[in-house]
Structure 1
Amino acid sequence: MPNLRDFTLEALEEYLSDQGQPPWRARQIFRWLARGAKNFEEMTDLPKALRRHLTQTADISLPRLTTQEKGADGTIKLALRLSDGALIETVIIPERDHYTLCLSSQVGCAMGCAFCLTAKMEFRRNLSPGEITGQIILAREILGEEASRLTNLVFMGMGEPLANYEALLTALRNILHPLGFGFSKRRVTVSTSGLVPQLLRLSQEIVVKLAISLHAPEEGLRSQLMPVNRTWPLKELLSVCRRLKLPRGWRITFEYLLLEGINDSRATAQKLAWILRGIPAKINLIPFNPAPGLPFRCPSEERILAFQAELLKAGYTTIIRKSKGRDISAACGQLYARVA
């Protein structure tokens, strides 16, 4: 039976219309789903007969929370069990005046990035739209009275979001819809390792913030670190970034993981500044987070600051991103569902 959490409002209207229901019933159900209703009996503004019918013919199940860990800095990592037994992780990140939720889009990942622990899981399957948005509902439940402070979403968890394009797009439409989750487009960021056709398509179909995982300013080095570069080279990726039509004042965030002795020299920073010319860009520098089985080290603070200084000198807004949740393996590149 279909899970109604996988439907956009328009698809839900069509589904209910086929059963003789008016469009406003779909809007009622759509609102209930975003609020986190667990069963149709909770939808008290629906007729009892319709609730009984939907209970027998449709599903609104959510991923199931299996474990939660809280780090010293307040970061919360959730392990969620899906209906087929697969496991994913999602992370609630405390900020100064709000929370950010780091969402997963796949079970595992097929991109094979050398510095990411999730790649060691390999790819198992895509998440459905409802499994993506279900992470928001469960995070809100964990936050309880503070749920209203969960205002920012980043698709930077397990998986490559643009490799699960259709489910991502449906989830984003429900996330942004005022009758759905109602998030601001300014507070939703989709990150990609560089799937060029999907990046271009996403920019044409919906407005959200974009983040590009770059990590090297040279084709050869980037191909070593990120196999996706062999299919969609850096030159082509940046060419598309220059052509994207962004809302006025918006910039693309370029994420750059600093690896000691590999991509952290002043000369490399100068090359990075050069290749990004002409792109409305800001740069997030991410000191490497150690993880078992990954053969890299984090640069010294001196080298990190020197790298940042070169980019600032070139005129780029450049932030050194503080890694939160490192003590519970919830920081960038550390997600790995250990229980199959």
Structure 2
Amino acid sequence: MNHNKVALKNFTEEELKEFMKTIGEKPFRGSQIFSWIYKGAKSFDDMNNIPKNLRNKLEEVSYIGNIEVELKLESKVDGTKKYLFLLNDKNIIETVMMDYDSRVTVCVSNQVGCRMGCKFCASTIDGLLRNLEPWEILDQIMKIQEDTGKRVSNIVLMGSGEPLDNFENTKKFFEIVNDKNGLNIGYRHITLSTCGIVPKIYEFADLELPINLALSLHSPYDEARKEIMPVANAYTIEEILDACRYYIKKTNRRVTFEYSLIKDVNDSEKEANALSKLLKGMLCHVNLIPINKVEEREFEKPDKSFIYKFRDNLEKNKIPATVRISMGSDISGACGQLRRKYK
């Protein structure tokens, strides 16, 4: 891949029209090409209403931007599909599609690997290899739509990588995916999950986009959180909650706190009460996630009775909470597991 060439899938329609002007062409060609891209054109030769000389010119200065399906697994349990995608530089990322009755949700990766080092996650074991470009995040959705013939209605940025650690590309991805003649997915149907990079939460809030923020909390205590999540050495829970309150104020959206329940680590009544105290009076919701077993780590999931007891404790304290049903458990549905096995 020639690095001087630009990826056309990194552009909104308006930007593609501008780009046409810079190469001495009429802006309306930008709209035509944009429309071809979202019809699934893989090469410039597919664009039969674009003159040959313009197609040749585009070939020289740009590329459309395509990733390839390397492997696809489908869950026998719930129809969840997991894709391994091959990037142009031979790196591999994974993406999950969850098909609920009324909506199709895709969980995208936004980095190859991750440098956040959370102890319960397989994505981070080899560290961060590189950031994904906006088009590489976008194309995960496009290739899944093409493969399944279904329109994706919801996006969660919960695959490999920390979106706020790849903030410029993530921001650009939001703009492109929201483009009305492109995938046209509304901001309210997008959720960004972060382990809590405080300055970036403020920056993200200042965009005032009605995107849902999900924050990985996993413990109500700073010391215990540091054990599980190295990022906690940089920002205290208090600082994170202040940033979340600011986010709520700016966007009017309820924040979700993700809480992975780990047996004998953070699943007791004491933790449930401490968590309730922290979140009291906040426009929020707690998503309890029974942890997936990662071979390289020693954590185990609590028994069911503990999980529901924890939820009931929060509810009793007026903190809305749900237990997330793990999808695709039979196909290494959890973050980063399949990519590691495959490598």
Question: Under a length normalisation based on structure 1, what TM-score does the superposition of the two structures give?
Answer: 0.94
Structure 1 residues 46 and 279: CA distance shift in structure 2, 3 A: farther
Structure 1: how far apart are the matches of 2:291 and 2:337?
10
Q: Select the residue among 83, 94, 109 that pairs with 1:78.
A: 83
Deviation at 1:337, TM superposition (A): 3.9
Report the equivalent of 2:153: 151
Structure 1 position 113, deviation (Å): 0.2
**Letter of the 2:170 counterpart:** L
Work out the CA distance in 2 between the residues paired with 1:338 and 1:107. 15
The answer to whether 1:311 aligns with 2:314 is yes
Deviation per residue, 1:262-313 (Å, 9 max, x gap): 1001110111111112321011100011121111111111111110001111
Q: Percent same amino acid at aligned positions?
A: 37
Corresponding position: 1:12 with 2:36:
no
Q: Which amino acid letter does the alignment assign opposite residue 51 of structure 2? A: P
| Number of the residue aligned with 2:111 | 106
How many angstroms apart in 1 are the aligned matches of 2:254 and 2:35?
32
Residue deviations 1:5-64, cap 9 Å, x none? Answer: 123344333322111223332233223323322112223343333223212321013111
Name which of 241, 262, 266 aligns with 2:265: 262
Q: Find the residue that maps to 2:129 and give its secondary structure.
A: strand
Select the residue among 298, 307, 327 that pairs with 1:295: 298
What letter is aligned with 1:47?
Answer: P
The equivalences for 1:44-123 within 5 A come to 44-72=48-76, 73-123=78-128
Alpha carbons 2:110, 2:161 under 8 Å: kept: yes
Structure 2: 5+ residue stretches without partners? none
Q: 1:133 aligns to what?
A: 138
* 2:186 alignment partner in structure 1: 184
Query: How much has 1:247 moved relative to structure 2?
Result: 4.0
Secondary structure at 1:119 match in 2: coil
Q: Is the 8 A contact 1:81 1:88 kept in 2?
A: yes
The answer as to whether partners of 2:215 and 2:255 remain within 8 angstroms in 1 is yes
Q: Does the CA-based 8 Å contact 1:217-1:275 persist in structure 2?
A: yes
Whole-angstrom CA distance in 2 between matches of 1:284 and 1:193: 14
Which amino acid letter does the alignment assign opposite residue 55 of structure 1?
E
User: Residue type matched to 1:326 in 2?
Assistant: S
Partner of 1:229: 232
Query: d(CA) in 1 for partners of 2:40 and 2:214?
Result: 28
* 1:281 paired residue number: 284
The residue type equivalent to 1:165 in the other structure is F
Matches of 2:45 and 2:82 in 1, distance apart? 31
- After TM superposition, the structure 1 stretch with the greater mean CA deviation from structure 2, 310-319 or 9-18, is 9-18
1:137–1:193 distance in 2 versus 1, CA, 3 Å: same
1:6 and 1:130 in contact (8 A); partners too = yes
The SS at the match of 1:104 is coil
In the aligned structure 1, how far is the partner of 2:337 from the partner of 2:314? 26
What's the CA shift for 1:335?
A: 5.1
Moved more, 8-17 or 186-195: 8-17
Question: Within 2, Cα distance between the matches of 1:269 and 1:9?
Answer: 48
Matched, 1:194 2:196: yes
CA distance, structure 1, for counterparts of residue 56 and residue 310 of structure 2: 62
Gaps of 5+ in 1: none
For 2:84, what is the secondary structure of its paired residue? strand
Change beyond 3 A, Cα 1:306–1:333 = farther
Is the counterpart of residue 243 in structure 1 residue 246 in structure 2?
yes
The aligned length equals: 336
Q: Counterpart of 1:167 in structure 2: which amino acid?
A: N
What is the alpha-carbon distance in structure 2 between the residues aligned to residue 35 and residue 198 of structure 1?
A: 34
Distance 2:158 2:111 in 1: 11
Kindly indicate whether the alpha-carbon contact (under 8 Å) linking 1:121 and 1:336 is maintained by their aligned counterparts in 2.
Answer: no
Does 1:163 find its partner at 2:168? no
CA shift at 1:333, angstroms? 6.2
Give the Cα–Cα distance (whole angstroms) in 2 for the partners of residues 60 and 138 of structure 1: 13
Check conservation: 2:114, 2:161, Cα contact below 8 A: yes
Please give the alpha-carbon distance, in whole angstroms, between the structure 1 residues aligned to 2:140 and 2:336: 19
> In structure 2, do the counterparts of structure 1 residues 246 and 312 end up closer, same or farther at CA, with 3 Å as the change threshold?
farther
Structure 2: distance between partners of 1:132 and 1:208: 16
Residue by residue over 1:230-286, the C-alpha shift from the partner in whole angstroms, topping out at 9 and shown as x without a partner, is 1122111101111223544x3111110000111001110111111112321011100
